[in-house]
Amino acid sequence: MSGEQIKELIEKALEMRNFSYTPYSHYNVGAAILAANGTIYTGCNIENASFTPSNCAERTAFFKAVSEGVKEFKAIAIVGGPDGAKELDYCPPCGVCRQVMSEFCRDDFTVICAKSVDKYKLYSLPEILPDRFGPKDLLG
């Protein structure tokens, strides 16, 4: 991953926060995934009055990609924070989203948690989800 690629993903994730539908939490999350084929898929969080159908930004982005036949990924950028926040803190991906990453991503998948285009932390998938249960456990 080049620095330019990382910045582009963070920029797109930041833009996606504008589309978050968060009338309950007012916490807006954006995500941008770089697929192995070079395409970027984006997502925002989408909440629901019944709460449990709510979807995180990361899963929105993954499901957009997979629903278009794309199942190999290199990296994801994630940004999140309260509506109207002047500065963002890091938004670590929730456990459910980590498990969805585990379904489609290899150990060299990079998770970029960002506060801005210049302030970010990089993690590999095993760092954020060690000893993961995945397709290998069922499919061999």
Between 5 and 54, CB nearer to ligand THU: 54
Q: Integer distance in angstroms from the first to the last C-alpha of the chain?
A: 30
Closer residue to ligand THU in complex, CB, 54/124: 54
The one among 14, 65, 93, 128 contacting ligand THU by CB under 6 A: 93
Q: Does 25 bind ligand THU (CB under 6 A)?
A: yes
Binding map of ligand THU across residues 52-91, x = CB under 6 A, - = no contact: --x-xxx---------------------------------
Would residue 103 show up in a list of annotated catalytic residues for this protein? no
What are the angstrom distances between the C-alpha of 109 and each of 49, 69, 91, 113, 133?
33, 19, 18, 13, 16
List of residues 6+ apart from 20 with CB closer than 8 A: 28, 29, 30, 44, 45, 46, 57
Cβ contact 38:46 at 8 Å: no
97 binds ligand THU (CB under 6 A): yes
User: How far apart are alpha carbons 109 and 34 in whole angstroms?
Assistant: 10
- Regarding 99 and contact with ligand THU (CB under 6 A), the answer is no
**Could you list the active site residues?**
58
Site residues, ligand THU (CB under 6 A): 22, 25, 27, 29, 45, 47, 54, 56-58, 93-94, 97
